[in-house]
């Protein structure tokens, strides 16, 4: 690793030029680091010196994203490789490992769902999710799929064809449920199937979402014939039914191409000044088996570079068998040969990347581009609606700029019991769930039978802005966590309690506050006795209502969770020697109070820290007659 520097390179031209001269004109991977030694960007090139020098030659023309990155670069590191394909493979692994901020090209807006198989678990789960996060590298994600309805139908049909675990948690502790009796589940909850056998079933399911349905049908057909020859007619009948079910998948999705035996991916995009919507069609044996969608920043690169980066990121997480033999692209990729060599080595067979010229393949790319245009139009409509709402809200509240970050707060309780609060965040008019927060109300004024929303809001706001009380004004003006607008769910009283907390702290001058009352949808500003004169259906008011409703939903769901946990523990608190930690272990083992009640002393004693004596006490508590 090179020596650590704290000054940005563009502020030290001599050191910049000296550093650039040290970089060889060979293929390899380069790292851009900031003054805190954090990796900003990882890239590859067949000529490292030329590529890295291009960033600093006229960085003002690179676009806002790359210009911001270059201004932060304090050090450059590199790793030389023998070939461009090796550089591409190394770059993919390093990006996956470090996940630099400026390498995030594809926007994760939760619009498209993924299918996940948790191979890290002993009995893997299969489910649909919109969050591509995992605590284990063994878990596999397929997608993102544009048609969520078709994905759910496909998964539902797969669960009818193959015996799979149907529930994330067992319905009963000591017996199977109806799914096992009707053959939908192999009895995972009671371990009636071994992990090895269950994984064999999941491998077949994975082939469907890898686009290898035809290969799976051929494999099952061979197994069916072998079972029939061995006079195992029951097994042969099961395989016959699975084959029949698989043939119904995508039966009406035939794509007319001259050679149906070649696996193909076709990719195209449609872009405006801000967004680039990319569509990738997966075609296997002449059938459209998957339609994946990606959203990227149109200013990040030209169309060819965008398509290349999407393909690199997509295939970096794919298995070799998922990579097709032919990739059709809308425009020429800047490093198509390098990518093709890398994919060929990874797959073990030749992979071709081409811009189609023949009519049938050109028509396919045109169809993909047309679908990308529809996705772009939908993205533009959502963006236009949000822009209109933000402009109307800024005009309504007399804000100096459009509010980028808006926070909404709400309180939830039942007569003071299990009081909680929520914070939801909208970024540019859209929910940013990674910034949502829950709060448990701690003030002594709020307890069962005695509620105080004013005190609760005051506590939450004080906890939210506590870190800013010791900072100077300049520290929070550029802070991405500083809100442009704070909305309180309630009327003048709730707003006044928040103003009272912030008064005299210096924060109130830089913070825009507003409250939204529920009944008449009235908007109040600090110090004003009358609500603003608004229309219920104007865009700015609708945006505040969406924020308020989301804050209410988030608070209520957390309150119900806290109330349920309290009710589950209420009876356990009456058992001597059963503290909080032992209660948690009991509930984790038995899932519910009812299962604890019907458990035998021997079963209770199997829980860690619950010895035979305490197990007998728990049993006697629930069975006083015995």
- Express each pLDDT in 447-462 by its tens digit: 777 888 888 888 888 8
Task: Please state, in angstroms and rounded to a whole number, the distance separating the CA atoms of residues 20 and 107.
Answer: 32
- pLDDT for 477 equals 58
Mean pLDDT, range 541-568, rounded to an integer: 86
Torsion of CA 335, 336, 338, 339, to 10 degrees: 110
- Go through 239-254 and write b for each residue having 16 or more CB atoms within 10 A of its CB, e for each that does not: bbebbeebeebbeeee
Can you read off the two tokens belonging to residue 122? 């002993």
CA distances from 609 to 369, 570, 578, 617 (A): 62, 20, 10, 14
- Fold for domain 9-103? GIY-YIG endonuclease (3.40.1440)
Mean pLDDT, range 588-593, rounded to an integer: 79
Torsion of CA 521, 522, 526, 527, to 10 degrees: -160
- The DSSP call for residue 83 is S
Q: pLDDT higher for 248 or 107?
A: 248
Task: Please check the confidence at residue 256 and state whether its pLDDT lies above 60.
Answer: no
- The DSSP call for residue 261 is T
**Angle subtended at Cα 65 by Cα 62 and Cα 71, rounded to the nearest 5 degrees:** 75
Do the bridges between strand 513-516 and strand 485-489 make them parallel or antiparallel, or are there none, so unpaired?
A: parallel
pLDDT in tens, 344-383: 988 888 999 999 887 788 888 998 999 999 888 888 887 7
Task: Please state, in angstroms and rounded to a whole number, the distance separating the CA atoms of residues 268 and 329.
Answer: 6
- pLDDT for 408 equals 93
Mean pLDDT, range 11-35, rounded to an integer: 88
Can you read off the two tokens belonging to residue 483? 């809100």
Task: Please check the confidence at residue 173 and state whether its pLDDT lies above 60.
Answer: yes
* CATH number assigned to the domain covering 264-378: 3.30.420
Task: Please check the confidence at residue 329 and state whether its pLDDT lies above 80.
Answer: yes
Least Cα distance to 185 among 152, 153, 159 occurs for 159
Task: Please state, in angstroms and rounded to a whole number, the distance separating the CA atoms of residues 257 and 287.
Answer: 10
Task: Please check the confidence at residue 202 and state whether its pLDDT lies above 50.
Answer: yes
Q: How many CA atoms lie within 13 A of 104 on its CB side?
A: 9
Beta bridge partners, 438, equal 422
Where are the CATH 3.30.420.340 domain residues in the chain?
398-565
Task: Please state, in angstroms and rounded to a whole number, the distance separating the CA atoms of residues 45 and 51.
Answer: 6
- The answer to which of 188-192, 297-301, 540-544 has the lowest mean pLDDT is 297-301
Question: Helix, strand or coil for residue 615?
Answer: helix
Residue with tokens 């529930």: 167
- pLDDT for 474 equals 44
Task: Please check the confidence at residue 578 and state whether its pLDDT lies above 90.
Answer: no
CATH superfamily of the domain spanning 398-565 = UvrC, RNAse H endonuclease domain (3.30.420.340)
Task: Please state, in angstroms and rounded to a whole number, the distance separating the CA atoms of residues 165 and 195.
Answer: 12
Where are the CATH 1.10.150.20 domain residues in the chain?
571-622
* CATH number assigned to the domain covering 571-622: 1.10.150.20
Task: Please check the confidence at residue 242 and state whether its pLDDT lies above 90.
Answer: no
pLDDT in tens, 453-493: 888 888 888 888 887 766 655 456 557 788 889 999 988 88
Task: Please state, in angstroms and rounded to a whole number, the distance separating the CA atoms of residues 514 and 396.
Answer: 11
pLDDT band at 1 (very low <50, low <70, confident <90, very high): very low
Task: Please state, in angstroms and rounded to a whole number, the distance separating the CA atoms of residues 322 and 343.
Answer: 11
């Amino acid at each position: 690793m090179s020596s650590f520097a704290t000054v940005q390179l563009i502020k030290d031209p001599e050191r910049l030029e000296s550093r650039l001269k040290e970089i060889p004109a060979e293929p390899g991977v380069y790292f851009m680091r900031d003054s805190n030694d954090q990796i900003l960007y990882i890239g590859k090139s067949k000529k490292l010196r030329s590529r890295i020098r291009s960033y600093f030659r006229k960085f003002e023309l690179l676009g806002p994203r790359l210009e911001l990155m270059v201004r932060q670069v304090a050090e450059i590191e590199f790793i030389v490789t023998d070939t461009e394909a090796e550089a591409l493979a190394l770059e993919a692994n390093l990006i996956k490992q470090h996940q630099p901020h400026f390498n995030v090209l594809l926007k994760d807006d939760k619009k498209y769902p993924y299918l996940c198989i948790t191979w890290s678990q002993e009995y893997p789960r299969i489910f649909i999710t919109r969050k591509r996060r995992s605590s284990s590298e063994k878990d596999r994600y397929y997608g993102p799929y544009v048609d969520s309805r078709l994905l759910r139908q496909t998964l539902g049909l797969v669960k009818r064809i193959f015996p799979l675990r149907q529930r994330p948690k067992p319905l009963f502790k000591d017996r199977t449920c109806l799914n096992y009796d009707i053959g939908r589940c192999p009895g995972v909850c009671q371990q009636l199937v071994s992990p090895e056998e269950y994984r064999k079933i999941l491998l077949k399911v994975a082939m469907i979402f890898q686009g290898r349905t035809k290969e799976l049908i051929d494999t099952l057909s061979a197994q069916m014939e072998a079972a029939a020859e061995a006079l195992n007619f029951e097994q042969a009948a099961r395989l016959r039914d699975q084959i029949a079910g698989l043939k119904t998948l995508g039966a009406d999705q035939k794509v007319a191409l001259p050679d149906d035996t070649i696996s193909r991916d076709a990719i195209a995009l449609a872009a405006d000044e801000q967004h680039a919507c990319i569509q990738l069609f997966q075609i296997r044996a002449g059938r459209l088996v998957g339609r994946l969608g990606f959203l990227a920043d149109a200013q990040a690169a030209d169309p060819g570079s965008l398509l290349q980066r999407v393909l690199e990121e997509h295939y970096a997480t794919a298995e070799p068998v998922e990579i097709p033999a032919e990739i059709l692209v809308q425009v020429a990729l800047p490093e198509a040969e390098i990518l093709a060599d890398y994919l060929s080595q990874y797959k073990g067979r030749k992979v071709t990347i081409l811009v189609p010229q023949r009519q049938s393949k050109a028509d396919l790319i045109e169809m993909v581009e047309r679908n990308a245009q529809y996705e772009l139009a939908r993205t533009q409509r959502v963006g236009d609606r949000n822009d209109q709402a933000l402009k109307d809200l800024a005009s309504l509240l007399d804000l100096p700029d459009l509010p980028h970050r808006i926070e909404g707060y709400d309180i939830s309780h039942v007569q003071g019991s299990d009081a909680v609060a929520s914070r939801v965040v909208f970024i540019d008019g859209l929910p940013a769930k990674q910034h949502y927060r829950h709060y448990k109300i701690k003030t002594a004024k709020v307890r069962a039978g005695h509620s105080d929303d004013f005190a609760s809001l005051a506590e939450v706001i004080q906890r939210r802005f506590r870190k800013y009380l010791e900072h100077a004004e300049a520290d929070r003006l550029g802070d991405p966590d500083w809100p442009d607008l704070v909305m309180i769910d309630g009327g003048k009283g709730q707003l006044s309690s928040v103003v009272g907390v912030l008064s005299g702290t210096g924060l109130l001058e830089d913070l825009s506050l507003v409250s939204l009352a529920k009944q008449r949808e009235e908007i109040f500003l600090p110090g004003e006795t009358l609500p603003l004169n608004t229309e219920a259906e104007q865009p700015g008011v609708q945006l505040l209502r969406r924020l308020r409703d989301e804050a209410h939903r988030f608070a209520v769901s957390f309150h119900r969770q806290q109330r349920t946990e309290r009710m589950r523990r209420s009876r356990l608190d009456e058992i001597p020697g059963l503290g909080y930690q032992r209660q948690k272990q009991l509930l984790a083992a038995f899932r519910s109070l009812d299962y604890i009640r019907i458990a035998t002393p021997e079963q209770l004693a199997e829980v860690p820290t619950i010895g035979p004596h305490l197990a007998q006490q728990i049993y006697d508590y629930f069975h006083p007659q015995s």
